[in-house]
Structure 1
């Protein structure tokens, strides 16, 4: 390492990932997964505002809870030092033992500084009706409402940069952008109405999301993949997941009534019913944001 030239040293993991993805896009090969796909913007539907109204109560609850947790984890703490202007009277007993760390000094904790990309499977199987708990809704309705509620809740939290992408259709049209990083979620609410169709081009969607995450400024990158089935192509899907994990993108798979995610993602959650998706996403982000703010 001491004798290595500048161009031989390992650079920033996220910059390396971006360069690797750009090389893949320029090179020939199987376009089903080796090329970084361009997402088509999901069309805006006029029912988007009604969807926002339907999740308003849930969004408000999630936002207040997440915001409160982040604020609590960011509260200024104190550390004892050997010099300073403020005595910590509770630590004066240390002087007897020769420990002069009796001055109190504030310690600022960092904000989350996290980019979150939520990938939602909108393949044909998402049309299935879920349990009575979800009042006869389909999987796609539950997934759509959960993704919107979480994105709206995350957006106002300082240091959090959410995005949502759907994957469905086929290899020629696999990825649909719902909310890009930095976009206003409310303004894109109509795009959440895109319906389920086709199969499960998960590898293409992860390539796209990884490239989008590599362009964000946030230090921490999190990708959450929600699916109810197996990807069209397992081997390339595993390859891009491994690349993301080596490049310090935190990958989490949520399987809706499928354990296929357990063989793809080191961090995975399997839920028995789509009705559990909203609670699962909330708990996942609750742990993630408070851990990153600590």
Structure 2
């Protein structure tokens, strides 16, 4: 299957795409997340283009991209500083998306459409809304590589702006060297290669900072994170103003690294995992989310004063003994940022385990809680994309002056910057999908298929009961199903009409100067029958009539060359809200041999998930090769959601699936427009033939 021609409603397209990529996708709940074992998509509108683009993009980026190609264990072992990790993340996104595009035709179109959607919503990082130098450098890396390596025209103008700023801020020599270094991603064969490119790029920044250092700025100023007054008393770093203006010894032997300002240590792996489970409890999501293990964002309310200094209000200590039951209404993942420590410990990624599509952080304990970092993509309620949009467009955070030349102090502050979830593509899309799911009103769900094993061994009784109707159906439906007429022409020596080259052929002695047309009708049809087994079907022996109808149709259609039939019953169980289907026979299995299964079906379901079953029928039909596809529910027309049925009918029409219905004792045209109503099996041949004939005429007219 070509991704360019991927068909079906969003749940169907996502499952088909995941199967093609060798992934497992689960749909349900109100939160999107990804782990090394599966992709989880929430319940989303089935025919909203925005949801479709973001959902398929999430499967490709996180699933076919990061889960398949990113080696997080190697990255964790490299113990990257936070800012280096951010540069690596931008480079790795380009590397893995390039691999996905080369393997799956059409992936480029989905990736580009996903960025266009984010840009329209104000969630795509731009140079104009970069909050600081660190954000700008990550944006430059991403935009430049998206155009130069992946040739995405969407980034052509953005790349020009990014290169212009980089040259203005750092000079043409540095700009050319930096772009050359990150351009090595085209030769990167692994995540570790991409990480080494990021390390080399950061080394260039360190070299620039050292070469352009202010001679008046002594080492004490750098140790105090750019503070102009070394005597200022501060309790956050565990050090205070000493006698004679010298900082007191805080008992630590480590010296600050070259990165300048020391960021807060990342959230621990156990805490991130526990909070991810709390956020996903409402959706029943047992997978780790894609944002697990990302470096800590640092103080949530920190404000930059232009010199790389940050200030924030201290929050109280986190309750490490709380669990999911203690805070059931918690909506946001919270990470406690510790006090300033050695950059080689607290600011690095490593010492943790790999889960999901993130790297678990570790290698440093939080000594004194300073602030709480909010994970925008981890919220399971609505407003995730709104928070990210506010962060992207907030004038207070978009404080970088693009016209200013980068100073040594600015670069040191950037090297010590914390993690920013607003620039991570996976987290942004995850948050948008979760927000859309929270706002949608119970869309149809793609049912799970459960094999039906019960069977009446002697099925001759039911076959004989519908034998006459099945024979009549076969005779009359064969003509109605001949939907494809193939016409061909050839040149012959006798006929009534001359071909175009007849005169020229005579001059060469060729007597084949007449044209003869030949046509033949062929049948290539897949039909999925859906049998309603809800409790309402017990009224007036509707279930017996429905089983006979299903058996007669299945046997008659299955005996026509070129027709393949599958039958399913819904709901699968007897629970109050069961959305699964029972598979009676799949495409390729003869209905006559499985008639005993149809006879064993009982009307003991408590609900009628017709929309969900029809969505499964659409999935089954699109998974089968056929020129013509027909979905045919057999029901009494009392579904759980009429609006959901109407949505699925419209979706089927969009993707070329004809929907017809057989009403058992009741008129179901209000639910399925193209339908018939029968009160006995003897009515089936005539009415079914008229329905197919009418549908065929409409199809040819279209």
TM-score range, shorter chain: 0.7 to 0.9
Write the deviation string for residues 103-135 of structure 1: whole angstroms up to 9, x where unpaired: 342333341211111112222222233xxxxxx
Query: 1 CA distance for matches of 2:530 and 2:698?
Result: 22
Unpaired runs of at least 5, structure 2: 17-24, 28-39, 44-282, 285-441, 499-512
Where does residue 134 of structure 2 map in the other structure?
none
Structure 1: runs of 5 or more not aligned: 1-6, 93-101, 130-137
Does residue 592 of structure 2 align to residue 186 of structure 1? yes
State the alpha-carbon separation in 1 of the partners of residues 472 and 667 from structure 2: 30
Partners in 2 of 1:21 and 1:240 — Cα distance? 17
Q: Report which stretch shifted further, 36-45 or 62-71.
A: 62-71
For residue 581 of structure 2, the aligned residue among 160, 164, 175 is 175
Partner residue, 2:491: 84
Aligned with 2:537: secondary structure? helix
Question: Counterpart of 2:641?
Answer: 233
- Aligned equivalents of 1:88 and 1:291: distance in 2? 35
1:153 match: 556
Q: Residue in 2 aligned with 1:123?
A: 534
| Cα displacement (A) at 1:256 | 3.6
Distance 1:289 1:204 in 2: 26
Describe the SS at the equivalent of 1:232: coil
| Farther off after superposition, 145-154 or 253-262 | 253-262
- Is 2:13 the partner of 1:19? yes
What's the counterpart of residue 162 of structure 1?
565
Report how far residue 273 of structure 1 moved.
3.2
The answer to whether the 8 Å contact 1:146/1:278 transfers is: no
Q: How far does the alpha carbon of each residue in 1:235-285 deviate from its partner, in whole angstroms, 9 at most, with x for none?
A: 3333333222211111123334545542x43x4225263554454334334
Larger Rg: 2
* Matched position secondary structure for 1:225: strand
Cα distance in 2 between the residues matched to 1:250 and 1:235 = 18
1:226-265 equivalences under 5 Å are: 226-262=634-670, 264-265=671-672
For the residues of structure 2 that align with 1:165 and 1:208, how far apart are their CA atoms?
A: 10
Say yes or no: does 1:58 pair with 2:469.
yes
Match of 2:448 among 32, 37, 41: 37
Which is strand-richer, 1 or 2? 1
CA distance in 2, matches of 1:61, 1:274: 15
Quick one: distance in 2 between partners of 1:66 and 1:44? 28
CA deviation vs aligned residue, 1:62-93 (integer Å, no higher than 9, x gap): 2233346668x8898786xxx8214334x58x
Contact 2:8 2:651 in 1 (8 A): no
Distance 1:247 1:68, change over 3 A: closer
TM-score, L = length of structure 1: 0.73
Structure 1 position 47, deviation (Å): 4.3
The answer for the alignment partner of 1:113 in structure 2 is 524
Q: What SS is found at the alignment partner of 2:570?
A: strand
Distance 1:291 1:229 in 2: 24
- How far apart, in 1, do the equivalents of 2:523 and 2:570 lie? 27
Give the Cα separation in 1 of the matches to 2:15 and 2:666.
29
- Across the two proteins, how many residue pairs are aligned to each other? 263
For residues 566 and 603 of structure 2, the distance between their equivalents in structure 1, rounded to whole angstroms, comes to: 19
TM-score by length of structure 2 reads 0.33
Contact 1:225 1:254 (C-alpha < 8 Å) held by counterparts: yes
Q: Which one is further off, 159-168 or 283-292?
A: 283-292
The corresponding residue for 1:139 is 542
Cα RMSD, aligned residues only:
3.7
Q: 1:174 to 1:17 in 2, by over 3 A?
A: closer
One of 575, 590, 602 as aligned partner of 1:195: 602
